[in-house]
Amino acid sequence: MQYTDRIRQVKIVLVVVAVLIAISSLRVSHVLTRDLSAEERAKMEVWADALRALNNAGEDADLTLVLRVLAGNNTIPVIAVGKDSTIQTWRNIRIRGRDTLACLNRELEKLRLAGHAIRIYMDDGNVRPSSRRVRDYIDIYYEDSLMLRRLATYPYVQLGVVLIFVIVAIFALLSSKRAEQNKVWVGLSKETAHQLGTPISSLMAWTEILQAKYPDDDLLPEMGNDVNRLRVIADRFSKIGSMPEPQLDNLNEVVDKAIAYIARRTSNKVDFVRHFPEEPIWVRLNDALFEWVLENLYKNAIDAMDGQGTITVTLSEMPQKAIIDVADTGKGIPKSKFKAVFTPGYTTKKRGWGLGLSLARRIVEDYHKGRIYVRRSEPNKGTVFRIELKK
């Protein structure tokens, strides 16, 4: 659980850092955009003065500087419109199509909507707010330069990049966490199977000797069944980490076999109710591992009911998949814990390891390409686990 908490803290730190980067980027971009917009406004006011000077110039006036100012605007789209709404001049407007005037009128409407306008008065040479008391004037409409528009959108692009980085980092952390957990569980499982192998072989030999010596003893067959059960358990542990080849099997029989095993080893206060279809459901699975999944679900259901209640197992099928529902009448699971119960190490038992449902999910999803999840749960009413397998 400490490792899980550490991963959660790292994810929180990554998200907080991403938010801080985004806020800082947006703030800096806003300041730069505001300053650059003010600078472009000043440039356009100078350009407007130059245009006024050009319109009021006499025949002998030196217009070198004026023309240089007018020609120096290579970035800001601008259209100058006279008092009678005729277009006087324009700069940095891309003409599309053969009808230049129509294209300019369309661009003029866009510039008007942009809201950047300067009015110059021809009689006094001042750039000042609009006033209809002055007879002759020209309206200059412009929009932000391409650089300013790019600067305004840059922080959102940067925010997207940071978000992608955080998602990739979190995914890498989760993948690393899962790979490390899988390595631990696989090593533990195989070592357990290896350690159980020798004593189980010895017990099987002793059981055969005892059965040969006391053939009429009623307890020896049960002892043999228990030893064989240990062999099956060791075989299950040895298959963890490998990819056992699934075989076509009757799902009805596999589910019923797991019920029969648990029913013999639990209290009479636990009732098993079966809802099976009349026709067998055939799926490809490894029966030894899949029985382990079912036994884990049954044992968890019994624990949730404190050893008293009803476990209902329902089999059904759809065109592409088989469905197993295991319902109990136990304490229930909070909705916030529906996914957490499959996390390695998560347990509500005082002596639990929190590995049962984690291994069950691995067997169902990794080995059988199916799905296991909490379908529904209500406090003090019970829980339904669902397994979906491809037919």
| DSSP per-residue letters across 160-202 | HHHHHHHHHHHHHHHHHHHHHHHHHHHHHHHHHHHHHHHHHHH
Positive or negative, the Cα torsion across 196, 197, 198, 201? positive
pLDDT score recorded for residue 376 = 93
Cα 292 to the center of its chain, rounded Å:
30
pLDDT score recorded for residue 127 = 47
pLDDT score recorded for residue 182 = 67
Q: What is the 3-state secondary structure (H, E, C) of 363-382?
A: HHHHHCCCEEEEEEEECCCE
How do the domains of the chain map onto residue ranges?
Answer: 2-143, 243-390
pLDDT score recorded for residue 134 = 46
Q: What is the DSSP letter of 321?
A: E
Residue 43 corresponds to which tokens in the numbers above? 């440039």
- The one-digit pLDDT tens for each residue of the chain (391 residues) are 455 566 667 777 777 887 787 788 778 878 888 888 888 888 888 888 888 888 777 777 778 887 888 888 888 888 888 887 888 888 888 888 778 888 888 888 888 887 788 888 876 544 454 444 545 788 888 888 888 888 778 777 877 887 788 788 778 777 777 776 667 667 777 777 777 777 888 888 888 888 888 888 888 888 888 888 788 777 767 766 666 678 899 999 999 999 998 998 888 899 999 999 999 999 999 888 898 899 999 999 999 998 899 999 999 999 899 999 999 999 999 998 898 888 876 676 666 566 788 888 988 998 889 999 999 999 889 999 999 998 8
pTM greater than 0.75 (yes/no)? no
CA dist., res. 267 & res. 319, Å (int): 37
CA dist., res. 220 & res. 58, Å (int): 125
- Distance spanning both ends of the chain, measured CA to CA: 36
Closest to 122 measured CA to CA, from 132, 109, 135: 135
CA dist., res. 186 & res. 344, Å (int): 13
Positive or negative, the Cα torsion across 201, 203, 208, 212? positive
The domain defined by 243-390 carries CATH number 3.30.930.10: no
- Compute how many other C-beta atoms are within 10 angstroms of the C-beta atom of residue 23: 12
Closest to 151 measured CA to CA, from 69, 239, 37: 37
Q: ∠ CA 352-356-362 to the nearest 5 degrees? A: 150
